[in-house]
Structure 1
Amino acid sequence: MAKHTTLKRGQLLKYIGKRWKNLNISRDSFIKFLGYDGSGFADVWVEYQGRLLFLSLKEVELAV
């Protein structure tokens, strides 16, 4: 996703990044945007299945 895309709290996103060993996000699942990191808007805080995650903006896209 572009760095200057404006997201609103609660907006639904999809994870498009690489798989992590302890992170299993289905490509069909939605994650909820919580907010930007304070430095540069390149990273975001999201919620997935009750877990708080810190992801790069490059790893998410808008859910349609």
Structure 2
Amino acid sequence: MSEQPESLSVSEPDVQGVTPDRLLHTGGNDQPTAEDLVLASGRDLTPGNLEWAKRRLAEEGRSAIDKRLP
């Protein structure tokens, strides 16, 4: 008897090719990093973009990333 894996990788889309909503949200308890904000903004991880993200997080807090995620 073969066993099926209990969970899928978070990078695997569901059967219809749409990422489940539960995987798109960061969660209210997480503190986003500058890297998180850069990636959520669709930018490359460069020193300039990381500095931009650090400033946004310092000014806006968690809402900086919440504005960029669904």
The two structures have a TM-score, normalised by structure 1, of 0.27
Give 1 or 2 for the bigger CA radius of gyration: 2
Q: Identify, as 1 or 2, the structure richer in helix.
A: 2
Q: Identify, as 1 or 2, the structure richer in strand.
A: 1
The two structures have a TM-score, normalised by structure 2, of 0.26
Q: Larger relative contact order (C-alpha < 8 A, sep ≥ 6)?
A: 1
